[in-house]
């Protein structure tokens, strides 16, 4: 049980301090703080969502990753539906890649690093391919400058897959 | 839609040919062929189970992996229960690690390689720490010699974690 104090931002000076008690598995009860530009939050319960695929990102990040999706996302992947339907939510979990101490050929997840979210809402996010983006560290969104890079990269590289990198691992 | 013919083994000569039609996602409707020594089968629907953790196995296998578990397994991980309860089932999915063609720093899943299963049944598998093992390629169990190596390695390396390598990725 870890108490977390959320400081209201300067523009909401009348808000009281919010006291949130986090219990249980990390990630399922993150405070609902939204990303700049997009207003995307970490979806509740995502850690229990179905796996789409793992991945590895090389140094300097050096991360093991897993992308999971809500039911809309999984159904779309399984049926090969493109573009992804409204309400699709994808979450990428990432951990430092560390050497297994028990099995030499293996690397395994270390500390969690970022949680990254994509939400499909064609009206709300009409200017960014229908997708809203959120990148979070310890449950808190990273700054606006980082969020300004999301769509340009997805657009340049995977426009033909509805701006989504991850494919379903069979 | 791919028809699969299951040949009855020599010891069951009176069994008719069984005709199974496989449709939908790979892995969810594998024929129920059991592993030597243990009689472990690929559990139905495992591809929809919750993620425990991804991992990477170095060359020569060069595989991205993900371990998922049934509800008993997930509940045990989340509550820190050891030994794992009766009925725990763990499934490791593995894919060749291949270079992403869309993002240079990333490697992603290629072809599926093995599916590996651990089933907790303390009475049935009393001689192997309470665990039955199954290793499958294309839905078919590998040979007895390979299955003879499972427990010795788990016993030597992770006896203190109820013979299970994988930890829950937060």
- pLDDT above 70: residue A1: no
What integer best gives the mean pLDDT of chain B? 87
Q: Does the beta carbon of A157 lie under 8 angstroms from any beta carbon of chain B?
A: yes
Residue A137 corresponds to which tokens in the numbers above?
């560290």
Closest chain B residue to A157, measured at CA: B102
Cβ-Cβ contacts under 8 Å, A167 against chain B: 108-109
The CATH code that applies to domain A46-161 is 3.50.70.20
Cβ-Cβ contacts under 8 Å, A48 against chain B: 50, 74
The owner of tokens 């993150």 is A30
Nearest to A56 among B74, B78, B106 (CB): B106
- How far apart CA A159 and CA A130 sit, in angstroms, is 11
Please name the residues between 5 and 44 in chain B that touch chain A, using a CB distance below 8 Å: 24-27
The predicted-structure confidence for B77-88, as pLDDT tens digits, reads as follows 999 999 999 999
**Extents of the domains making up chain B:** 1-29, 46-161
Over range B127-136, report the average pLDDT: 98
The predicted-structure confidence for B37-90, as pLDDT tens digits, reads as follows 999 999 999 999 999 999 999 999 999 999 999 999 999 999 999 999 999 999
Whether A102 and B56 lie within 8 Å, measured CB to CB: no
What integer best gives the mean pLDDT of chain A? 87
Q: What is the pLDDT of residue B32?
A: 65
- How far apart CA A68 and CA A74 sit, in angstroms, is 8
A52 and A90 Cβ atoms separated by less than 8 Å: yes
pTM comes to 0.82
Q: What is the pLDDT of residue B37?
A: 98
Percent of chain A predicted with pLDDT > 70: 81
Over range A44-57, report the average pLDDT: 98
- pLDDT above 60: residue A86: yes
Percent of chain B predicted with pLDDT > 70: 81
Confidence of residue B20 (pLDDT cuts 50, 70, 90): very low
Whether A100 and B165 lie within 8 Å, measured CB to CB: yes
Q: What is the pLDDT of residue A74?
A: 98
Q: Does the beta carbon of A50 lie under 8 angstroms from any beta carbon of chain B?
A: yes
The predicted-structure confidence for A105-162, as pLDDT tens digits, reads as follows 999 999 999 999 999 999 999 999 999 999 999 999 999 999 999 999 999 999 999 9
Confidence of residue A21 (pLDDT cuts 50, 70, 90): very low
Going from the C-alpha of B73 to that of each of A29, A43, B44, B50, B82, the distances in angstroms are: 21, 23, 15, 9, 11
Whether B170 and A64 lie within 8 Å, measured CB to CB: no
Q: What is the pLDDT of residue B112?
A: 98
Going from the C-alpha of A104 to that of each of A57, A157, B152, the distances in angstroms are: 20, 35, 16
Predicted ipTM?
Answer: 0.82
Cβ-Cβ contacts under 8 Å, A55 against chain B: 64, 100, 106-109
Q: Considering Cα of B165, then B168, then B169, then B170, what sign does the dihedral take?
A: negative
B35 and B135 Cβ atoms separated by less than 8 Å: yes
């Amino acid at each position: 049980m870890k108490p977390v104090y959320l400081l209201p931002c300067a523009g909401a000076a009348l808000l009281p301090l919010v006291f949130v008690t986090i219990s249980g598995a990390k990630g399922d009860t993150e405070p609902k703080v939204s990303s700049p530009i997009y207003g995307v939050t970490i979806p509740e319960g995502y850690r229990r969502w179905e796996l789409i695929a793992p991945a590895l990102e090389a140094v300097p990040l050096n991360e093991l990753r897993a992308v999971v999706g809500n039911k809309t996302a999984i159904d779309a992947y399984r049926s090969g539906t493109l573009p992804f339907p409204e309400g699709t939510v994808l979450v990428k979990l990432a951990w430092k890649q560390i050497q297994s101490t028990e099995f030499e050929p293996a690397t395994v997840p270390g500390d969690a690093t970022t949680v990254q979210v994509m939400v499909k809402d064609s009206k709300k996010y009409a200017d960014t391919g229908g997708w809203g983006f959120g990148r979070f560290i310890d449950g808190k969104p990273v700054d606006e400058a980082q969020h300004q890079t999301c769509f340009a990269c997805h657009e340049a590289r995977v426009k033909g897959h509805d701006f989504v990198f991850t494919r379903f691992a069979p």
